[in-house]
Amino acid sequence: MKVIFTNLAKLELEDATTFYELEYQGLGKRFKQEVEQSIRRIIEYPKASSIERGDIRKRSLHKFPYKILYSIENDHILIIAIAHLHRKPYYWIERAEI
């Protein structure tokens, strides 16, 4: 199944990757790899993740304090946010209502 990122979700992924890479060389790459691995699992089992709110599901990363928020559309999976677990928990809600 095809995966589409919102522009803001892409930016969040890039920002977090850059932040971790600046903290420790190679850590940004590991962060991005974990996101990619989680997205592969979402593609394989889209309904396995728990519902966060409405039709939005969440998949938490294992080694980083982030979750992937997504919706299952007719022909693709829409990544709504790459959200930090400890910052403004529902800031992404307006994106889901578009």
**What DSSP string runs through the chain?**
-EEEE-HHHHHHHHHHHHHHHHHSTTHHHHHHHHHHHHHHHHHHSTTSSEEEETTEEEEE-SSSSEEEEEEE-SSEEEEEEEEETTS-TTTTHHHHT-
Task: State pLDDT tens for residues 14-43.
Answer: 999 999 999 999 999 999 999 999 999 999
Task: State pLDDT tens for residues 37-78.
Answer: 999 999 999 999 999 999 999 999 999 999 999 999 999 999
Predicted local confidence at residue 97, as pLDDT: 58
Amino acid identity of 31?
F
Query: Do the Cβ atoms of 85 and 66 come closer than 8 Å?
Result: yes
**Per-residue pLDDT for 86 more than 90?**
no
Q: What is the pTM of this model?
A: 0.90
**Per-residue pLDDT for 98 more than 60?**
no
Amino acid identity of 65?
P
**Per-residue pLDDT for 94 more than 90?**
no
- Which domains are assigned to the chain? 2-96 (3.30.2310.20)
Token pair for residue 64?
A: 């980083």
Task: State pLDDT tens for residues 1-15.
Answer: 899 999 999 999 999
What are the angstrom distances between the C-alpha of 44 and each of 3, 13, 36, 38?
12, 21, 12, 10
